[in-house]
Amino acid sequence: MITSQELQLNLAQFTGTLNWYKNPLLSYRYTDGVKYFAQYAECYWLLQEINALWKRRGNESFFDITVKSKEHTADIVVEDGNGKPLLTRKIPFTDLPEGDWKFYLTDNTLMLPGEY
C-alpha cells in the first residue's frame, strides 16, 4: 500500500480530469484523481460510504467531504461548503493511510479539490 506522504504528493498532481468514471453501484460519477485515490489507497469501500451519505443529502447540492483517518479508524465529515456540518459517519476500522483526505461532491461528480 502507498504511504500517506506519497499519496498526498501524488494527489496534488491532479488538476482537472480527462475521464469520468461510473460505477453502477454509485449514484454519482468520479474523476481521475478519485480513481487514483481509491485504487492506490485500496479504499473503493469509501466511495460506497460517500454514496450512502450523498443519498441522504436532502436539498443539498454540494458536499465538502473530509475523511480523517488515524490509528485504523476514520471519520467522514460532510459540510455544505460554507462550514455548516451536514452529516458524519464513523468508520470503526480501516487500513486507509493516515491523514485528512478532502473531496468535493457536486453535480453528481466526486472530485479532488484540485479537480474542482
Angle between helices 32-40 and 4-11 (to 10 degrees): 170
Alpha-carbon distances, residue 48 vs 17, 33, 38 (angstroms):
21, 16, 11
Would you list the domain boundaries of the chain? Answer: 4-115
pLDDT the model gives residue 1: 74
What string of pLDDT tens digits covers the 116 residues of the chain? 789 999 999 999 999 999 999 999 999 999 999 999 999 999 999 999 999 999 999 899 999 999 999 999 999 999 999 999 999 999 999 999 999 999 999 999 999 999 99
pLDDT the model gives residue 17: 95
The listed CATH number (3.30.70, 3.10.450, 3.30.43, 3.30.450) that belongs to domain 4-115:
3.10.450
Using an 8 Å Cβ cutoff, are 109 and 6 in contact? no
pLDDT the model gives residue 58: 87
Contacts of 84 (CB under 8 A, 6+ apart): none
